[in-house]
Amino acid sequence: MKKINSIKLMFTFAGCFLGAGYVSGQELWQFFGSFGKVGLIGMAVAAVLLSAFGIILTRYVQLTGISDMDKVVIKKDNKILRGIFVALEVFFLFGVFVIMTAGVGAMLEQVFGLNPMIGSAIFTVCVALTAICGMSGMVTAFSVTVPLLVIMSAVILAVSGVKNGFSSIVFPASASENPLLQNWFISAIVFVSYNLFASIGILTPIGKAVEKKSTLYTGIIGGGVLLLLIAFGIMFTMALTPESVSAQLPMLSAAQNINSAFTFIFAFLLFGGMFGTSVSSVFAIDEFVKTRFKANKKASVFLIVIISFLSFVGSIFGFDKLIGIVYPVCGYLGVAALVLIVVNFVRVKLIK
C-alpha cells in the first residue's frame, strides 16, 4: 500500500467527515447551531474529540498491524459480536452514501432545476467509477476538494459579513426540535460518535499507510483544525443569513444570496465534499469484503455497482429527513464502539 505523508493525511482525515457532517450546513445547524452560541462550544469540543479518537484509532493500527474494522473494535474472537458490529458499520456506511446521494440530488435541483433522481443517478455512477480505483482515488479526491472547501467557506463568510454586516450575526437561544438531540453536549458526543463510527472502516486501512508516529499526529491534528475552522465559518455564515437555515442545503442558499458565480463555485465544492465522503464509505465496505472474503477484482466491481444502485434507490427519502434520523441513531450506537477502541488501545499501550 502506498504510504501517505502528513499533508495528505490531514486532507484525508478532514475529508472523511466534511461531506457527512459539515459542508451542506444542515448537519452543523441541527447538531450545534440550533442551540445558539453555546453550540459553538459544542462544536469545539467535537473537533477536539474527533482528533483525539482519530489518533487513538490510527495509532492502534500502527502498534498492532490490525486493519480489519471489526477486529479493531472487538479484539476477542467473538464471531457474534463482530458480526453485529460489521452489520451496523456497513449499514451506516451505506446510510451515509444514501444521504450524500440524496444531498447531491437536492443540490442539483436547487441550482440547475435538474430532476433530483437524475442528479442522484449521475452522482452514484461517478462514485462507483472512483471507488473502483481504490485508496489512491479517494486520497486524490480529498487532496483537491478539502483545501478548496476551506478557502471557499472563508470567502462566503467574509462576503456575507460585508454584505449583511457582522453585527447582524444572530444565534437562536435554543431551537432544537429533535428529541434525539436534547442539549449541546449530547449533540457533540453523538456528532463525534456517528462521524467516527462511519470512519472506522476508512481510517483503519489508512493507519497502515502511515509509517511514522509524527506523521500521524501532525496529519490528524491538522485535519481537526481544518474541520473546526470550516465548521465555525459555516455556522457564522448561517447566523448571518438566517433565511438560509430553512433550506435543505443552507450553505448553498447562502451562496445564492451573494451571486450566481458563488452559487456555482460552492455547488461544485459541495459536490466534491459529498463525493469524497461517498467514495470513502464505498471504499471502506469494499475493502472489508476484499480482506475478509478474499474477493477478486471482478467481485469487488460487482459489489460497488450494487451498493451504488441501492444508494440511488434509497435517496428518494430526502436529504434533511435522513440526516435527522440516521445520524443520531447511529451516533448513539457508535458510542459503544468508541469505548471499546479506547479500551483496546490502552491495553496495547500497557503491554508495550
Q: What is the mean pLDDT of the chain?
A: 82
pTM: 0.81
Q: What is the mean pLDDT of residues 1-20?
A: 80
Question: What pLDDT score was predicted for residue 143?
Answer: 77
As a whole number of angstroms, the distance between CA 181 and CA 187 comes to 5
As a whole number of angstroms, the distance between CA 327 and CA 101 comes to 15
Q: For residue 56, what pLDDT band results from cuts at 50, 70 and 90?
A: very high
As a whole number of angstroms, the distance between CA 90 and CA 46 comes to 23
The candidate with the shortest Cα–Cα distance to 254, out of 161, 145, 319, is 161
The amino acid occupying position 325 is: I
Question: What pLDDT score was predicted for residue 137?
Answer: 65
Q: For 256-273, what is each residue's pLDDT tens digit?
A: 888 888 888 878 878 877
On the question of pLDDT at 243 being above 70, the answer is yes
Q: Which residue has the cell 496495547?
A: 348
For 87, residues 6+ apart whose C-beta sits below 8 A from its C-beta are none
Taking the CB of residue 234, how many other CB atoms lie within 10 A of it?
Answer: 27
Q: Which helix (H) or strand (E) holds 165?
A: none
On the question of pLDDT at 173 being above 80, the answer is no
On the question of pLDDT at 176 being above 70, the answer is no
3-state SS assignment for residue 344: helix
Burial classification of residue 50, based on how many CB atoms lie within 10 Å of its CB (0-12 exposed, 13-18 middle, 19 or more buried)? buried
As a whole number of angstroms, the distance between CA 16 and CA 129 comes to 18
On the question of pLDDT at 19 being above 70, the answer is no
On the question of pLDDT at 20 being above 60, the answer is no
* Domain ranges for the chain: 6-351
Distances (CA, A) of 266 to 24, 286, 302: 10, 30, 33
As a whole number of angstroms, the distance between CA 165 and CA 232 comes to 17
As a whole number of angstroms, the distance between CA 318 and CA 116 comes to 10
Taking the CB of residue 6, how many other CB atoms lie within 10 A of it?
Answer: 19
Distances (CA, A) of 332 to 189, 191, 195: 9, 9, 11
Alpha helices in the chain (DSSP H): 6-21, 26-31, 38-64, 69-73, 79-112, 116-131, 135-164, 184-208, 213-240, 250-256, 260-293, 297-314, 319-351
On the question of pLDDT at 225 being above 60, the answer is yes
Q: Which residue has the cell 444521504?
A: 99
Angle at 98 between CA 189 and CA 71, to 5 degrees: 55
Q: What is the mean pLDDT of residues 82-107?
A: 84
On the question of pLDDT at 328 being above 90, the answer is no
Q: For residue 69, what pLDDT band results from cuts at 50, 70 and 90?
A: confident
Q: Which three cell numbers stand for residue 31?
A: 447538531
Question: How many residues comprise the chain?
Answer: 352
CATH of the structural domain 6-351, one choice from 2.30.22.10, 3.40.50.10800, 1.10.3210.10, 1.10.4160.10? 1.10.4160.10
The candidate with the shortest Cα–Cα distance to 152, out of 22, 50, 26, 37, is 22
Q: Which three cell numbers stand for residue 3?
A: 504510504
Is there a contact between 56 and 342 (Cβ–Cβ < 8 Å)? yes
